[in-house]
């Protein structure tokens, strides 16, 4: 039973860990920065304005390189994990995640196409990539939805299998495009597809956060509906839920979140599948708690993974998608083997 006290204490604990992770990731790097130095830099930047006393390159590294990157990892990880939670409840299947059912690939295809066709416009100084990504994600989801809709009802199994197949097809299209383009650009697209969080400005991060916020608010509003849907659609309808509306909202929010984050980070696997499972095991399946907890947990995981990605073999970086798969995979397999992975609490 979820009480407000339990809700608050678990989320405060996770929020605390989230903040500590941000701090550690900000200080840790090939150029270590001490806590007091960081405090000085922040103080000089945001309060006193006195830049003279601090080392300017360290200030740039902390504020312009690491800060947007760590925050972006927090946002992307949270978004991917929350989409994972939603899709798992919706499809009543533990394997669902934006990556597995092809939404990520749909987004990536949209982005790759927009980069190659030169439609990589900037609107009011912001990159329009999230819009292209969102379109790719939404088209993919709408196609899946239509595919799985038989006699007015969604066949969950068809949707999941269709998604896996669609993912394979979309990946093939991306591979084909990569193969066909000018050899000079292959490497860039290849690295981008493996996940990269390093090149966003604080300003552009703000835009991503706006998209993500809208998606998350939409998800919070249907958290209770997700609880009911996880029991099964018939049960949910019996209990008075407008199942179709909840599903539509969930799909739309999932597409928005995936489109916004994949378009700026590339393909990062395992966050959306692993974090919800771990947290479900730890704190139970109630989505009113699981959803915000996954947002925080996904952020913590991806911030840590990205810090490893940029420090392990510095000054070279490892694409972060490799780290998440290498860290997440074995962990996931152990959970699976121990049989501790519960899908629904019912």
Partner 1 sequence: MGTRSIRGTISFLLIVITSLVFLPLSVFAESITITDDLGRSVSLEKPAERIVSLAPGLTEILFSLGLGSRIVGVTDYCNYPPEALTKTKIGGLNPNIEKILILHPDLVVGVAGRFQQENLARFERFRIPYIVVDPVSLEKIFQTVLILGKITGRSEMAAENVRHLRNRLEQIRQSSRSESPPRLLYVVDDDPLISVGKGSYLDDLIRDAGGINITGGIAKPYPLVSMEYVIRENPQVIILATDADRKLTDIQKRRWDRWSSLAAVHDKRIYKVDRDLLNRPGPRILEGLEELAGLLHPVSTSDSDR
Interface with partner 1 (CB under 8 A): 29-31, 56-57, 60-61, 64-66, 118, 120, 122, 127, 180, 182-185, 187-188, 191-192, 196, 198-199, 201, 310, 314-319
| H or E segment and range at residue 84 | helix 67-91
- Secondary structure (3-state) at 222: coil
Please, what is the minimum distance in Å from the beta carbon of residue 129 to partner 1? 9
Omega into 315 within 30° of 0, i.e. cis?
Answer: yes
Q: In angstroms, rounded to a whole number, what is the distance separating the alpha carbons of residues 93 and 156?
A: 9
Contact 130, 211 (CB under 8 A): yes
| H or E segment and range at residue 27 | helix 4-27
Nearest residue (CB) to partner 1, 60 versus 239: 60
Contact 52, 216 (CB under 8 A): no
Please, what is the minimum distance in Å from the beta carbon of residue 310 to partner 1? 5
Please, what is the minimum distance in Å from the beta carbon of residue 38 to partner 1? 14
Burial of 132 (0-12, 13-18, 19+ CB in 10 A): buried
Please, what is the minimum distance in Å from the beta carbon of residue 339 to partner 1? 39
Please, what is the minimum distance in Å from the beta carbon of residue 175 to partner 1? 14
Please, what is the minimum distance in Å from the beta carbon of residue 198 to partner 1? 6
Q: How many CB atoms sit inside 10 A of residue 154's CB?
A: 20
Nearest residue (CB) to partner 1, 272 versus 319: 319
Nearest residue (CB) to partner 1, 2 versus 67: 67
Q: How many CB atoms sit inside 10 A of residue 206's CB?
A: 13
- Polymer length in residues for the chain: 346
Residues 6 or more apart whose Cβ sits within 8 Å of residue 198 = 65, 69, 310, 317
Nearest residue (CB) to partner 1, 29 versus 94: 29
Nearest residue (CB) to partner 1, 66 versus 287: 66
Nearest residue (CB) to partner 1, 1 versus 183: 183
Please, what is the minimum distance in Å from the beta carbon of residue 308 to partner 1? 12
Nearest residue (CB) to partner 1, 148 versus 197: 197
């Amino acid at each position: 039973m979820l009480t407000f006290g339990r809700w608050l204490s678990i989320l405060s604990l996770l929020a605390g860990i989230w903040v500590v992770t941000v701090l550690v990731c900000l200080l840790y790097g090939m150029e270590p920065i001490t806590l007091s130095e960081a405090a000085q830099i922040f103080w000089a930047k945001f309060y006193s304005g006195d830049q003279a006393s601090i080392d300017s390159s360290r200030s740039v590294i902390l504020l312009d390189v690491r800060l947007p990157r760590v925050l972006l990892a927090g946002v992307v990880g949270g978004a991917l994990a929350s989409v994972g939670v939603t899709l798992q409840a919706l499809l009543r299947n533990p394997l669902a995640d934006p990556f597995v059912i092809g939404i990520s690939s749909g987004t990536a295809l949209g982005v790759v196409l927009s980069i190659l066709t030169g439609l990589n416009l900037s609107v009011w100084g912001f990159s329009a990539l999230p819009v292209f990504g969102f379109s790719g994600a939404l088209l993919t989801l709408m196609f899946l939805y239509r595919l799985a809709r038989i006699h007015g009802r969604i066949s969950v199994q068809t949707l999941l299998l269709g998604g896996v197949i669609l993912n394979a097809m979309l990946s093939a299209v991306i591979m084909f495009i990569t193969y066909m383009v000018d050899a000079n650009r292959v490497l860039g697209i290849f690295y981008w597809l493996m996940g990269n969080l390093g090149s966003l400005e604080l300003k552009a991060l703000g835009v991503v956060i706006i998209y993500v916020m809208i998606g998350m608010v939409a998800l919070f509003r249907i958290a209770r509906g997700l609880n009911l849907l996880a029991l099964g659609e018939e049960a949910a309808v019996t209990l008075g839920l407008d199942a179709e509306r909840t599903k539509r909202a969930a799909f739309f929010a999932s597409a928005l979140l995936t489109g916004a984050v994949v378009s700026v980070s590339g393909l990062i696997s395992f966050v959306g599948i692993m974090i919800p499972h771990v947290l479900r095991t730890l704190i139970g399946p109630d989505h009113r708690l699981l959803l915000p907890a996954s947002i925080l947990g996904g952020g913590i995981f991806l911030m840590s993974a990205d810090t490893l990605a940029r420090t392990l073999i510095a000054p070279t970086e490892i694409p972060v998608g490799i780290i998440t798969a290498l860290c997440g995979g074995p962990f996931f397999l152990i959970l699976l083997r121990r049989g501790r992975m519960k899908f629904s609490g019912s």
